[in-house]
Amino acid sequence: MVMNRIGILGAMPEEINGIVLLLKDRKELVKGMRTYYLGTINGVEVVVVFSRWGKVASATTVTHLMVEFGITQLYFTGVAGSVSPDLAVGDIVVASSLVQHDMDARPIMKQFEIPLLGKTELFPPKELLEKSFHKVKKLESAKELLQLISLKQREMFFISNPKVFLGKIASGDKFFANNGEKENLLRLLPDVLCVEMEGAAVAQVCFEYGIPFVVIRTISDAANESSSVDFKEFVGQVASKFGVAIIQALLKE
């Protein structure tokens, strides 16, 4: 096993493209309908790959990173829909914990509990989480994220001053498309900040293999029917740039 090799997952193909451009001595390996990009960033060995969508696909991808490439740590970036009124498009959430909102094996076990693990939520290692949050938070204080996008893009996506939050992320094989669905989720999990489709599954695999991980999401929409943001445009023009900046910050000594 490599002494230190970091896996970098992106939740959208557009999000990993910019990260791949950072790689030195880049190599590509195609397996299982996935393209893995190997190289170094700031002298650190990394493997970059698109997670693919949903819990099963992303869990398969991260398992392959561990077994085939021997990663010793994982960073997962991507977009998410906000369920908290405190979040705006362009804000960033660093996951302090992750829960699978569609896990429900009642009455055998309580809602959200992961079978055989006896846990309803999973937590990144405290030291790695604190270091990662501190590094990403610096992007906010220095207004580096805002500088990555043009005035036109800020106006198009209603971004004024991206903020970085620490909080719970919920994952499941479901796209939230209206306020009713959000409200139902918040009744059950009132402290969730945002929703996506992969992070908690990836966290489970990392937990089972003993691999330190951090999940970071950029808010792309309000996860309801009134979103005025063009999702694909946002990913290509904003989230992809934020993802590159986040990974560069994380890989700085």
Number of separate domains in the chain: 1
15 flagged as catalytic: yes
The pLDDT assigned to 221 comes to 84
Contact 218, 79 (CB under 8 A): yes
pLDDT category of residue 176 using cuts at 50, 70 and 90: confident
Using the predicted structure, report yes or no on whether residue 1 has a pLDDT greater than 50.
no
CATH code: domain of residue 16: 3.40.50.1580
- C-alpha closest to that of 79 among 64, 71, 68, 89: 89
Average pLDDT for residues 212-219, to the nearest whole number?
A: 98
Strands (E), the chain: 5-10, 24-31, 34-41, 44-50, 73-82, 92-100, 164-171, 192-196, 213-221
221 flagged as catalytic: yes
Query: Domain of 126?
Result: 5-250
Name the token pair of 56. 């099963």
pLDDT category of residue 136 using cuts at 50, 70 and 90: very high
pLDDT category of residue 226 using cuts at 50, 70 and 90: low
Render pLDDT for 121-131 as a digit per residue (tens, 0 to 9): 999 999 999 99
Average pLDDT for residues 212-231, to the nearest whole number?
A: 80
Question: Among 15, 113, 121, 198, which one carries the catalytic annotation?
Answer: 15
Question: Among 196, 198, 221, 225, which one carries the catalytic annotation?
Answer: 221
Mean pLDDT (the chain, rounded): 94
